[in-house]
Structure 1
Amino acid sequence: MAATGVCLFPSRLPSVIRPEFTSSSSSSGKSKFNPISVPSRRLAAVSTDHTPTVLTTVNNQTGGSSGKEAHTTTTSAAAEKKRWSGQEDQEELDAEEEEQERLSLTDYFEQAKDFVTSNGGGVGPPRWFSPLHDGGSRLDNSPLLLFLPGIDGTGLGLIRHQHKLGKIFDVWCLHIPAKDRTSFTDLVKLVERTIRSEHHHSPTRPIYLVGESLGACLALSVAALNPDIDLVLILANPATSFGKSQLQPIIPVLQVIPDSLPISLPHILSSMTGVLVANLEKGLGLPLPETVEKLSHDLAASTTYLSVLADILPRETLLWKLQMIRSASPYANSRLHAVKAQTLILSSGKDQLLPSQEEGERLQRTLANCEIRMFENSGHFLFSEDDFDLVTVIKGTGFYRHSRHRDYVSDYIPPTRSEVKNVVDSNRWLSIATSPVMLSTLADGKIVRSLAGVPSEGPVLFVGYHMLLGFELAPMVTQMFVERNIHLRGIAHPMMFVKLREGRLPDISNYDTLRVMGAVPVSASNFYKLLSSKCHVLLYPGGVREALHRKGEEYKLFWPEQSEFVRMAARFGAKIVPFGAVGEDDIADLVLDYEDQMKIPFLKGFIEEITDEAAKVRVGHDGEVGNQDVHFPGIIPKVPGRFYYYFGKPIETQGRKQELRDREKAHQVYLEVKSEVEKCLAYLREKRENDPYRSIFSRLQYQATHGFSSQVEIPTFEL
């Protein structure tokens, strides 16, 4: 995160809308069905003979939107904006997240049971429903998300995610009743009619198709037929690899076995057990009683709801679905060349039903605009696994947007408390090893050991020194969030967002966490938008050259001559906070730097190759600042010392907009900021020499005496 640097929950299913709609004849005979409500939206009701019905507006039972409903919608949008600006009560948000996290397989079975046994749940043609009939707290102009289910057809596959999805999407789910026999091509037509209608209704809004297994084939087929519509595909373990699936031999068995034998249930149960095993493996870090309790709970759920499984997928339905997948796979594969939609493939490494990892790699190579994320320890039913969060994945991959082109500022969704906790947990060992000391400067100039001196109200621009490989980032960004609820938005190198071509640079999935935490690619427009939005912005003028410095260049600034950021800060009256961070030399020795590697032919060629893959910044700059070749320094870890951070007194630009338009005056402020950063570094380097707990051994000894709780603050030098 550097400027040019490296570094769900429905209480019940929606109420049925009346009066009834009458479907045309189908393979299961004539039937009546009640479309499930899509609140304040246009409802697509489609019969099994695929004669399109009129798209009609549905608003509760009155057929119209009341003033009260309109007021509620406005209030929800305002509440959401308050939430994302950090103004809403955090306890309420935490409780909301905990409620979401309690959803499990049990909830899926209970919802499926209610759904299958309710009026119209097991018969009738496919239909759309909204899992959040109370509307949730959606943003204004939320993108539409259509969920296309896998082999179960219930449309409840996103049950663990739908509440969080409902905060940022208008969510519709496709339900295919167990007795329905709509063909795959007719399902394609159904979805196609829906997206064309919605595109006509909101032509500038993207439409998301989230499909798992069979649903992924459906999404790809629809996208191939509609390249003119802005679609975003998110596909979990696509069944386009069904030709290599272990499920194929089951088809002839199901065709000849007597109806009296429930042959489908053992296989389904074993498949669902794959979720249980995956969740158990991922929960091994929990205390044993919690692990046993969790496994027992999930096993009890699966055995209790065997009858629900039988209702969802009786033998004849399972046979129909497998035959459908067998035809859907080549149908979708033959049209991959026509898919232009932005696509994200989610592949499980332990999928026992499909070769999903291999298939994901094939699709990434085949599709024109495709990214992939691997989940090595996950099984086929990825959306049902405990530690998979679809919203976090969408945020991390940068796939959330309101229009055709993503705006890194207006489309950004701040991290939740649980997401920040995951980042903190993933960097726990770095924090333990380095025991960061955070210092800041109060308005009266007093230095305190806390972040109390950091301005709460934005815009604020943090400008500082970039450690080798950006080691300082994670402790600083997470501590700022945890202690002060301040969300730092970093200006980052474009290679963290896009690669010019496939090659040997690290995959951009390595930077998903940085994107979740708010990093944006370096550009004047992004910088402008962040400051105009009153954000806390993190800027490293030294960029790649500073973060990939040479031997003996520790704590040396490599800033450009121009005052790049001062006039922009003055335009919005931003406070500029200079800061320093030291300790990189206490955790590693740099043994093979850029100069060393350029003397070795194969390493020189490697550097040139990966630099060519990365987007260029500061083109035209000469000297050290312009030399931003990408390389990987050779380092040897040391017995870890300690990290120290010092945030200097903020420099005001409020009211100086006209004054700092003058380049010379702006340059003087620029030099002042640079000097303050150097003073922060010098202060820390001097004071750390007197820290009795600089060594990890002295800190471990202190913790052994006072406890290893994160609440125990290890002392440092006198201020």
Structure 2
Amino acid sequence: MRMAAISTGVSPCLQYRHFSSTRFSFLVRAASSTASIPHQPPKTPLLSNHRIALEDKTSLIMKGYLEWSKDMMIADGGPPRWFSPLDCAPPTTIDNFSPLLLYLPGIDGLGIGLIKHHTRLARIFNMWCFHVPVTDRTPFSELVHLVETTVRSEHHRSPRRPIYLLGESFGGCLALAVAARNPHIDLALILANPATRLHESQLQNLIMLLEVLPEQLHPSMVKMLSVTTGVPARVAVTIPGSGHPLQQAVAELFRGDVAFSSYLSFEQENDEKETVIYRLKILKSAAAFVNSRLHAVKAQTLVLSSGKDHLIPSLEESEKLRRMLPNCEIRKFNNSGHVLLLEADFNLVTVITGANFYRRGRNLDFITDFVPPSTSEFDRVYQPYRWMEVAFNPVMISTLENGNVVRGLTGIPSEGPVLLVGYHMMLGLELVPLVSSLWYERKIVLRGIAHPLMFKRLREGMMPELSLYDDYRFMGAIPVSASNFYKLLSSKSHALLYPGGMREALHRKGEEYKLFWPEQSEFVRMAARFGAKIIPFGTVGEDDIGQMLLDYDDLMKIPFFKARIADLTGQVEKLRNDTEGEVSNQDVHLPIILPKVPGRFYFYFGKPIETEGKKEELKSREKAHELYLEVKSEVERCLDYLKEKREKDPYRNIMARLPYQATHGFDSQVPTFDL
């Protein structure tokens, strides 16, 4: 491995120094100006003999982390430096198109805390990692200057691209400090349990404990402290049970002591103690530095906070940062510990993309900045919804271009642009089965055109956190707008459109399977402009899983619910203000529904309607409206077909399906009616 370095406090007369270890070869260049900052750090091989799905192999991850930590901790006398671990990443993807991500590590300074995520991050970022050698004593202010110099240099090279600063714990302080000093640069901050609240943390108590312990007890306490400071390394653990917070913190530290003891790289306990105490002091100064400058941070920020962080009050700190920073969102991981990035079930790329936090330019483009999911990423996101597959066991029927009706989704064209237009079931319950079936059966990413409430709030209130919709955004949902619709079809995507929108998804009693479409066409001419195939579809089954007790009309008669509906509606952007008819009723509410023993969902996709070659013809409002009514009529026909056919399904009720699934497996396709 070769590392290019940014150094500080090193004689400018010393041009190069070379250090070797059993696994690495470090090339350290002394620096006295910004010219020494590498335009691209040398690629560093990461477990080159074990490239097989490292993020899914926890034992390999931790083994690699420990071994790499051991080598990285060898005292080479070098200064802080940048390195890139992405020798296996596609150069065109990283160097030419993707934004730069600078990883700023925790108090360990090793720079390898993203080992679990390197391969996936390589798909979307040009990534550099900051390494501060164990024996380095660079003050916090100079570390800020080093990172800042790199940020300014890279911004000068690519002023239209954002620079991501991913700061973990101590690195979060470093990222905030750089952002506070450079408000004119387009920075995107990702802060994982930032250590900006050290004065209220259990770590502060441990520091005080170390200072008053008798000398003979220093080695044991230092070894425990070293686990959390990263000297020699650290690992995420979850402490079961309850107890005194300080006891939990000590337990968390002590739990890793045996595993890491063989990796201690200091020859003398005094050196070890000196390093740990120094790192804790620099953490204290970093927190103080940043807290006095938070008002100056203007950067877009995403805070990742753990609910079982026994070292720092991360949940409380994330809320404080959201209040203080002008453009800040938080994502909470209630069952995670302090070292979130190393936990086996945590996927950083999924979190970033689900939060719509990934962009290649100054502004987010929902089309060009979309990152298609990998199979493993989709599986992980879909896992919490698999119960729907068992409970509702959806039946999929599609129509081929020759008019033949077949089971499955063969009738959906593989090549876009394709526009699926259909009925929106109560609360959008059909979305998960629809999107997942297209993915697993056809490997098609269906991008839904969604209500703005999934993307932003006009003000604070009783609406749920935006994180509730992360999975939908991860799967490709975009906010409804003419420009987004245009871009989606121009990119030859598979788009999902519900003309009935929220009014259809929040219908009243007795309005099941009734369409609430606008009087005028909204999509036909746009589809014709790009020659998109329009596929009308219907879906039924909502009345087999629940009975509506109180609908919108009922709730508006109750003062408490009426006030709540007004509050919810005021928090989101209202659509179709200029539209006449029921479709313009966009009040946000949650009807009261009594669950039933689950029935079954049915999907019927009609014959694709061609618009290619009809661009000029459909410029006529009359012709476009005729096609619009044809699509609407076909959706209604699909609904009527399904309502009639499901009466002949012997497995319509879950009680009939369960014996079949128990015998044939829950992943088997349960029979249904004859076509």
CA offset at residue 311 of structure 1?
4.6
CA distance 1:311–1:503, shift in 2 (3 Å): farther
> 2:519 and 2:126 mapped to 1: Cα distance?
48
* Counterpart amino acid of residue 166 in structure 2: V
Which of 75, 84, 95 pairs up with 1:130? 84
> 2:81 and 2:523 mapped to 1: Cα distance?
54
1:417 corresponding residue in structure 2: 375
Residue 71 of structure 2 is aligned to residue 114 of structure 1? yes
Tell me if the contact between 2:617 and 2:623 (Cα under 8 Å) persists in the aligned partners.
Answer: yes
Residue 492 of structure 2 is aligned to residue 534 of structure 1? yes
1:82 corresponding residue in structure 2: none
Tell me if the contact between 2:107 and 2:229 (Cα under 8 Å) persists in the aligned partners.
Answer: no
Tell me if the contact between 1:205 and 1:402 (Cα under 8 Å) persists in the aligned partners.
Answer: yes
> 2:359 and 2:30 mapped to 1: Cα distance?
29
* Counterpart amino acid of residue 261 in structure 2: L
Residue 223 of structure 2 is aligned to residue 223 of structure 1? no
CA offset at residue 708 of structure 1?
2.1
Which of 144, 152, 162 pairs up with 1:206? 162
1:30-60 CA-to-partner distances (Å, cap 9, x unmatched) read 9964599xxxxxx99675xx76553455687
> 2:86 and 2:562 mapped to 1: Cα distance?
56
> What fraction of aligned residue pairs are identical, expressed as a percent?
56
> 2:389 and 2:17 mapped to 1: Cα distance?
58
CA distance 1:442–1:610, shift in 2 (3 Å): same
Report 1 or 2 for greater relative contact order, CA contacts < 8 Å, sequence distance ≥ 6: 1
Give 1:284-683 correspondences, 5 Å limit. Answer: 303=258, 305-311=260-266, 314-683=272-641
> 1:247 and 1:383 mapped to 2: Cα distance?
19
Which of 25, 42, 54 pairs up with 2:36? 54
- 3-state SS in 2 of match to 1:132: coil
5+ residue gaps, structure 2, are 21-26, 44-49, 242-253
> 1:679 and 1:693 mapped to 2: Cα distance?
23
- 3-state SS in 2 of match to 1:431: helix
1:590-622 CA-to-partner distances (Å, cap 9, x unmatched) read 111110111111211111111010012112112
1:84 corresponding residue in structure 2: none
Tell me if the contact between 2:545 and 2:596 (Cα under 8 Å) persists in the aligned partners.
Answer: yes
1:542-585 CA-to-partner distances (Å, cap 9, x unmatched) read 00000000000000000001111000000010000000000000
Tell me if the contact between 1:465 and 1:581 (Cα under 8 Å) persists in the aligned partners.
Answer: yes
* Counterpart amino acid of residue 542 in structure 1: G
- 3-state SS in 2 of match to 1:344: strand
* Counterpart amino acid of residue 562 in structure 1: Q
CA distance 1:150–1:45, shift in 2 (3 Å): farther
5+ residue gaps, structure 1, are 1-13, 37-42, 62-94, 282-298
- 3-state SS in 2 of match to 1:373: strand
> 1:339 and 1:696 mapped to 2: Cα distance?
54
1:286 corresponding residue in structure 2: none
Give 1:93-242 correspondences, 5 Å limit. Answer: 98-102=53-57, 103-117=60-74, 122-137=76-91, 138-139=93-94, 140-242=96-198
2:2 corresponding residue in structure 1: 15
* Counterpart amino acid of residue 549 in structure 1: H
> 2:99 and 2:28 mapped to 1: Cα distance?
17
CA distance 1:54–1:277, shift in 2 (3 Å): closer
> 1:469 and 1:35 mapped to 2: Cα distance?
62
> 2:672 and 2:559 mapped to 1: Cα distance?
46
1:267 corresponding residue in structure 2: 225
2:250 corresponding residue in structure 1: none
- 3-state SS in 2 of match to 1:391: helix
CA offset at residue 271 of structure 1?
8.4
> 2:29 and 2:550 mapped to 1: Cα distance?
65
1:622-664 CA-to-partner distances (Å, cap 9, x unmatched) read 2201111111111110000000000000000010000001010
* Counterpart amino acid of residue 229 in structure 1: I
Tell me if the contact between 1:123 and 1:178 (Cα under 8 Å) persists in the aligned partners.
Answer: no
- TM-score, L = length of structure 1: 0.84
* Counterpart amino acid of residue 245 in structure 1: S
Tell me if the contact between 1:240 and 1:333 (Cα under 8 Å) persists in the aligned partners.
Answer: yes
CA offset at residue 445 of structure 1?
1.4
> 1:271 and 1:698 mapped to 2: Cα distance?
57
Considering only aligned residues, what root-mean-square deviation do their CA atoms show, in Å? 2.8
* Counterpart amino acid of residue 596 in structure 2: K
CA offset at residue 305 of structure 1?
3.8
CA offset at residue 122 of structure 1?
4.0
> 1:215 and 1:623 mapped to 2: Cα distance?
54
CA distance 1:314–1:465, shift in 2 (3 Å): same
> 2:410 and 2:653 mapped to 1: Cα distance?
26
> 1:309 and 1:246 mapped to 2: Cα distance?
24
CA offset at residue 490 of structure 1?
0.5
Tell me if the contact between 1:25 and 1:31 (Cα under 8 Å) persists in the aligned partners.
Answer: no
* Counterpart amino acid of residue 327 in structure 1: S
Tell me if the contact between 2:422 and 2:497 (Cα under 8 Å) persists in the aligned partners.
Answer: yes
Tell me if the contact between 1:396 and 1:513 (Cα under 8 Å) persists in the aligned partners.
Answer: yes
- 3-state SS in 1 of match to 2:553: helix
Tell me if the contact between 1:278 and 1:385 (Cα under 8 Å) persists in the aligned partners.
Answer: no
